[in-house]
Amino acid sequence: MRIVALGDVHNRDVEVPEGDVTVVAGDFTNVGPVSFVERFLKRLKGKVLAIPGNMDTKEVLDFLESSGVSIHRKTVEVNGLTFFGFGGSSTTPFNTPFEFDDEEIERLISGFKADVAVFHDTPYGFFDWINGRSVGSMAIRRWIESVKPKIVFCAHIHEHKGVAKLNDTLIVKVPPANEGCAVVEFEDFDKIIVRFL
């Protein structure tokens, strides 16, 4: 399995390598337009799974849903693996279009299980530092600790990219799309190779 993961596209036409699955972890736009999302998705090859980011409007989510690529608050099975996604972010100082408080996130993701999870927001304490403090979601972190997915992809905080472990879960923080993407390859979860292109 080869998963290509990217996020924070923000209306930029970026090149995306081909994978068995392409995961877009939100922020296709800067508060629209939906027409960009339509053009961008047409350029992606293979199976595409996507969620909106905090800078995406409800119209973007509606388009992802109608295009059959949305995994926001749903699970999809691909090649025997269950994918789950949750878009938007915890609250920011900027009052962006698609935000939730942490209690609401906890309620909205409760009950879902997956092998691979895709969040726009970062789990608290992982790649989420701004001005020396963590701004990620505790609800997402608690979900990971409880559900124990094998891989979690996240985006949102432009300043960071990398790989970390939370217990047995591999967290892959993708860079903004203009800086590249993550390519994750594995035959089984015992050996997962992560490269940033």
pLDDT category at 172 given cuts 50, 70, 90 is very high
pLDDT tens for residues 59-84?
A: 999 999 999 999 999 999 999 999 99
Query: Residues, the chain, total?
Result: 197
User: 86: which strand partners?
Assistant: 119
In terms of Cβ atoms closer than 10 Å to its own Cβ (0-12, 13-18, 19+), residue 165 is exposed
In terms of Cβ atoms closer than 10 Å to its own Cβ (0-12, 13-18, 19+), residue 6 is buried
The listed range with the strongest mean pLDDT (88-97, 111-120, 186-195) is 111-120
How far is the C-alpha of 195 from the C-alpha of 136, rounded, in Å?
A: 23
Q: Give the least confident one: 74-83, 100-109, 132-141, 142-151.
A: 132-141
pLDDT tens for residues 31-63?
A: 989 999 999 999 999 999 999 999 999 999 999
pLDDT tens for residues 155-171?
A: 999 888 999 999 999 99
The CATH code of domain 2-196 reads 3.60.21.10
Q: Give the least confident one: 110-114, 115-119, 184-188.
A: 184-188
How far is the C-alpha of 175 from the C-alpha of 34, rounded, in Å?
A: 22
Q: Which of 188-197's residues contact partners 24+ apart within 8 Å by CB, and which partners?
A: 189/115, 189/150, 189/151, 192/150, 192/151, 194/163, 194/170, 196/161, 197/17
Q: Per-residue pLDDT averaged across 147-161, rounded?
A: 94
pLDDT category at 114 given cuts 50, 70, 90 is very high
Q: Would you say the pTM of this structure is higher than 0.85?
A: yes
